[in-house]
Structure 1
Amino acid sequence: MADNELELVDKAAKRKKLILIGAAVLLLVIAAGGYFLLSGDSSAPEGGVEEGPVPTGSPESTAISGTALYVQMPRPFVFNVAGSNRDRLVQIRVQIMVRGDANQALALRHIPLIEGTLLATFSAANADELITTTGKEELKNRALIDLQNAMLDVVGTVVVAEILFTGFVMQ
């Protein structure tokens, strides 16, 4: 009888110990997750954005400040590009990143301008360049600059902060 009582006490003590260890691990995971979510990244984004303060009234400030929102282009861009051996057919799916609700509304209002500018930039590319990752990055950067200039001419602000290729097929 005494052995049964000791076994029950041991099992209860082990169960308590496991519950306490589990709670401590869960608390550490929650604390680590909270730290990473709240700490943020203070480094400047790469690619085309200059370091240093941007004056609040400048057109560039509207493109790099605010919450990041994404605008999906309604249809993929399909075009032919010339190559050294043969012409190739390319299909690119694009989303543009804007900062803030106002820029998102502007981007949605000017979808035809965005599509036309991107298609003109994409179709001027060379198939031999698009085969490489570097060539794709250069095309993306060229398209971003062309699109920012077009939006600056029409709207008066840069609007687009980044261009993202969400699909890229070349045949």
Structure 2
Amino acid sequence: MADETAGGEDGEDAGAGGGKKKLILFGGIGLVAVLAIGGGAYFFLSGDSAPPPSADGTPAAQEVQKPVVFYDLPEMTVNLATDGRSTYLKVRIALEVEDKAMIAQIEPYLPRILDAFQIYLRELRPADLEGSAGLFRLKEELLRRINLSVYPAKVNGVLFKEILVQ
């Protein structure tokens, strides 16, 4: 009987030791989870979207967007470079400039701008205008050519108002 009681006590000690290990393990996992959730909540909820106030207590000046001016070019229709049947491109373009004074600088160069556009557009193939990537390349190339034509004036953007390939 002494052997049975000794064996029983060892079994209970082994069970209690395993329970303590499980308790510590689950407690540690729970603590890590609580810390992770708390850290995430602090990170996402404590961000202040307002700029810090300046020294005099007023909110810091936010970047003010300058109004832009758009200048419409005359509508252009050109035939594209094709082997077979004629394909035409009809395009209406607006130029984005900083102010009206820039338009006064650009207007004397309008014949040069239209000439540069006509020469470039006539060399395009219909495949060059397919998809948004093709139109983006066209826009960038026209912007580069117009800025070369009107230098030292500067055009900020070329905007397509209408594009028709027929």
* TM-score, normalized by the shorter chain, greater than 0.5: yes
Structure 2 Cα separation of the partners of residues 135 and 41 of structure 1: 33
Structure 1 Cα separation of the partners of residues 122 and 64 of structure 2: 36
* Alignment of 1:170 onto 2:165: yes
| Structure 1 stretches of 4+ moved >2 Å | 38-42, 82-87
Aligned to 1:150: 149
Aligned to 1:137: 136
Structure 1 Cα separation of the partners of residues 153 and 105 of structure 2: 10
After TM superposition, the structure 1 = structure 2 runs for residues 22-171 of structure 1, keeping only pairs within 5 Å, are 67-73=67-73, 75-83=74-82, 86-152=85-151, 157-171=152-166
Structure 1 residues 77 and 87: alpha-carbon distance in aligned structure 2, compared to 1, 3 A threshold: same
- Aligned-residue Cα RMSD (Å) equals 2.4
Question: Structure 2: which 5+ runs fail to align?
Answer: 1-60
Structure 2 Cα separation of the partners of residues 39 and 85 of structure 1: 56
Structure 1 Cα separation of the partners of residues 165 and 123 of structure 2: 15
Q: Check whether the contact 1:71–1:108 (CA below 8 A) recurs between aligned residues.
A: no
Q: How far apart are 1:85 and its partner, in Å?
A: 6.3
Q: Check whether the contact 1:125–1:139 (CA below 8 A) recurs between aligned residues.
A: no
Q: Deviations over 1:58-101 (max 9, x none)?
A: xxxxxxxx64111111x311111124764411100011111122
Structure 1 residues 158 and 124: alpha-carbon distance in aligned structure 2, compared to 1, 3 A threshold: farther
Number of residue pairs the alignment of both structures matches:
106
Q: Deviations over 1:108-167 (max 9, x none)?
A: 232212211221222221211112221111011111101111212xxxx14211111100
Q: Structure 2: which amino acid aligns with 1:72?
A: D
**TM-score, normalising length: structure 2:** 0.56
- State the identity as a percent: 17
Question: Structure 1: which 5+ runs fail to align?
Answer: 1-37, 43-65
3-state secondary structure, aligned to 1:163: strand
Q: Check whether the contact 2:93–2:161 (CA below 8 A) recurs between aligned residues.
A: yes
3-state secondary structure, aligned to 2:159: strand
